[in-house]
Amino acid sequence: MLFRSAIRDGGYEPRDAHAASAGQDPLWRDAWPVALGLALSLPLVAPMISALWGAHWMLPPLWQFLLATPVQFVLGARFYKAGWHALKAGSGNMDLLVALGTTSGWALSVWLWASAPPNHPGGHGPDLYFEGSAVVITLVLLGKWLEARAKHSTLQAIQALQALRPNIARVLTADGEQELPIAEVLPGDVLRVLPGERIPADGDIVSGESSLDESMLTGEPLPVHKTPGQRVRGGTLNGEGALQVRVTAVGATSLLAQIIRLVEDAQAPKAPIQRLVDRIAAVFVPVVLGIALFTGLAWFIQGATFEAALIHSVAVMVIACPCALGLATPAAIMAGTGVAAQQGILIRDAQALELAHRAGIVAFDKTGTLTQGQPRLLSLHAWCTQTESELLALAASLQQHSEHPLAHAVLQAAKQASPALALRPVDHPQALSGRGIQGQIDGQTYLLGSLNWLSEHLEAAQQPALSAALADGHTVSLLAQQDAAGRVRALGLLAFGDQPKPGVQQALAALRQRGLQLAMISGDNRAAALAMGQRLGLVEEEIHAEVLPAQKTEWVRRLQNEAHARGHTVIFVGDGINDAPALAAADVGMAMANPEGGGTDVAMGSAGITLMRGDVALVAQAIELSSRTVAKIRQNLFWAFAYNVAGIPLAALGYLSPVVAGAAMALSSVSVMTNALMLRARRR
């Protein structure tokens, strides 16, 4: 970024190589070989088309040669290169079949033309097959372009995300407000964001309040209210309020950039099924070449001319081109990842998408995954003369300047009280490390702190409330008053705990209805874990508490031993840094995104799937999408193999010419991609 600034200061304008080419649509940029191939091939097939209406004519052999040769060796150069690399590697692929088949047809036509007598019967040249080689290459190029188009359509979600990046940011400096290119914004800069603008970069709100549209990240349609101190993400849309945001991450380190990379990376790896297909294709190609050679020899031995025998052999090689076989898995994977991105499910690893549908056990982290991850004031018990409202007002007043998470919970509860509680001034506040806080309110000294500090001042009548709170797994603080003589009297109890996320019970029940076994693996104490698990509908055997991060991995492996014995896989869902080892160890790791940041980035890097909303229901959606994607893969593989099994015998017996075989091959590829893209039609 400083490099860009230095270049601009030198009087030059820096340009991003990627950005410079961004205006060129690669989809249409790569269409010209197809267009040229069609333009050169149509005159070659025109006589065949006109013959359907009784017009019989033929281009001169020279014109056929001039039209077909550029298609064969210029447009078809990619097949020679790929086929040569396959031969050097000791394997075969579709490109090798295309190169051999079309070259045979072109070479045969040249030989027939060169060896034909000057006065050919009929007054025209010999029957040549230039149109066969040209049309096959053109159709294969068309199939590859359609594959690129299918991929392009599944990447629309990525392009939409990229378009959300603002180009200009308003940076507040000592000299005032300055508009800078987003590439020159640095962490620590303070940005001014006006209502209706998109947040230029990840950061924390310094001042101002507003409602942000975060649907591009989470899929949640409702705006989220943001106040000072809260995290905002680049690309989200600011609502009605002006904000000042201190930048924490820009460029490749921003959440938006990470999301884009996750979706892009999901397109690259091959799933296990695709790797199996590649191994099958490596065996399939030499077998086909053997069948083609046998076909030519058999026809020649049976009395056919060399020309006819070669044509049948070429037809076998063309019809056997495993285009559809090669497209079956990647087309479905790309369509599946595109649909998932639109639902707020980001697939980083294609293998995860393939394995999720085989899940037998789904294990969850507790805090931040099944629960909201922030302590809440759940209950108060006022003793002596104070009411619960008075107790809350005193506690909030004492903690109004504290940054402790429990203090935030108390202040939030006071703010949400009806009516909102007014905070009182505190004299001589003193924070006591490891214990709590004390201060004077209206001349009285109050103490607020941990159970270990103040429990000795409890009376017998106050013990049942304490025991009940501890049995529920709550964290307990005590509020007490100290008189002038130093005697301490307990005034009340504050019970804190986490809360389940909205709808999590229903989401877990839905997973159980799918026949899945559930587990909760938590580092919390057993009482708290059991209490929360029971609220979520889990039984004691499904709750594993006091588990350290390294031990979570061990628990995942135990579950894997159980699931793998039944042919199933294990999904682990977590949200934080402590969950990263378990996410990586599971057959399928699902990272639950945390809008406030935390360990989400680390979790996302360890998981194959990221759920961009903190909604457990997305787990079932991801499993369902995996099931649909794998079903499409299997359908595509079936039809691809069925096509080859049916087409090769027909070509060998002489029922398919190279031109017809090429057309059928291209049609099968288009059908495979169309079937894969039908995943989008069922988008929820």
Residues labelled as active-site residues: 365
- What is the Cα–Cα distance from 81 to 100, expressed in whole angstroms? 12
658 within 8 A of 105, measured Cβ to Cβ: yes
Edge to edge, the sheet with strand 569-574 lists 345-347, 609-611, 588-592, 569-574, 359-365, 517-521, 543-544
Q: E strands along 383-441, which residues?
A: 427-432, 436-441
> Angle at the Cα of 211 (from 206 to 213), degrees rounded to 5?
115
- What is the Cα–Cα distance from 467 to 229, expressed in whole angstroms? 36
- What is the Cα–Cα distance from 385 to 379, expressed in whole angstroms? 18
| Pair of tokens at residue 242 | 């002006």
- What is the Cα–Cα distance from 499 to 377, expressed in whole angstroms? 10
- What is the Cα–Cα distance from 620 to 55, expressed in whole angstroms? 62
Q: What is the DSSP letter of 577?
A: G
Phi, psi of 192 (to 5 degrees): -105, 125
| Pair of tokens at residue 350 | 């294609």
- 153 CB burial (10 A radius; 0-12, 13-18, 19+): middle
Taking residue 35's Cβ as centre, other Cβ atoms within 10 Å add up to 14
105 within 8 A of 39, measured Cβ to Cβ: no
Q: SS3 breakdown of the chain: % helix, strand, coil, rounded to 5?
A: 55, 15, 30
Q: Report which of 401, 481, 477 is spatially closest to residue 445, judged by C-alpha positions.
A: 481
409 within 8 A of 450, measured Cβ to Cβ: no
Q: E strands along 53-159, which residues?
A: none
Secondary structure string (H, E, C) spanning 215-284: HHHHCCCCCEEECCCCEECCCCEECCCCEEEEEEECHHHCHHHHHHHHHHHHHCCCCHHHHHHHHHHHHH
CB within 8 Å of 199: residues ≥ 6 apart: 166, 193, 212, 232, 233, 234, 235, 236, 237, 238, 243, 245
Edge to edge, the sheet with strand 190-193 lists 176-181, 168-173, 190-193, 243-249, 202-207, 231-232
| Pair of tokens at residue 6 | 């230095």
CB within 8 Å of 122: residues ≥ 6 apart: none
Q: E strands along 498-536, which residues?
A: 517-521
273 within 8 A of 79, measured Cβ to Cβ: no
Measured CA distances, 495 to 261, 435, 467, 473 (Å): 43, 16, 11, 9
CB within 8 Å of 628: residues ≥ 6 apart: 336, 679, 682
- What is the Cα–Cα distance from 623 to 568, expressed in whole angstroms? 13
Instruction: Please report the DSSP string for 529-569 in residue order.
Output: HHHHHHHTT--GGGEE-S--HHHHHHHHHHHHHHHHTTT-E
Cα 349 to chain centroid distance, Å, stands at 8
| Pair of tokens at residue 105 | 């047809």
531 within 8 A of 549, measured Cβ to Cβ: no
